[in-house]
Amino acid sequence: MEENKYEGLNLPNYNIPEDIQNVVSITTIDRLYNWGRRWSVWPLMFGLACCAIEMIAAQTARYDMARFGMEVMRPTPRQADMMLVSGTVTKKMLPSIIRLYNQMPEPKYVVAMGACASSGGPFKEGYNVVAGIDKFLPVDVYIPGCPPTPQALIAGMIKLQEKIDKQSIKKVRWYEKGKVDSNYVPMPILGPDLIDVRRNTEIKQAAAAKEGA
Site map (CB under 6 A) of ligand SF4, residues 67-106, x = contact: --------------------xx------------------
Q: How many CB atoms lie within 10 A of CB 145?
A: 16
Q: Based on CB atoms, which residue is closest to another protein, 20 or 207?
A: 207
Q: Binding to ligand SF4 (CB under 6 A): which residues in 125-154?
A: 146-147
Residue 154 lies near another protein (rule: CB under 8 A): yes
Within residues 84-103, the interface with another protein by CB under 8 A covers 87-88, 90, 92-93, 96, 100
* 43 touches ligand SF4 (CB under 6 A): no
Closest C-alpha among 49, 211, 204, 67 to residue 117: 49
Residue whose CB is less far from another protein, 107 or 145: 145
From 1-9, 12-20, 125-133, 169-177, span contacting another protein (CB under 8 A)? 125-133
Nearest to 48 by CA among 89, 94, 107: 89
For ligand SF4, which is the closer residue by CB, 88 or 167?
88
**Closest approach of Cβ 119 to ligand SF4, in Å?**
10
Residues that bind ligand SF4 (CB under 6 A): 49-51, 87-88, 114-116, 121-122, 146-147
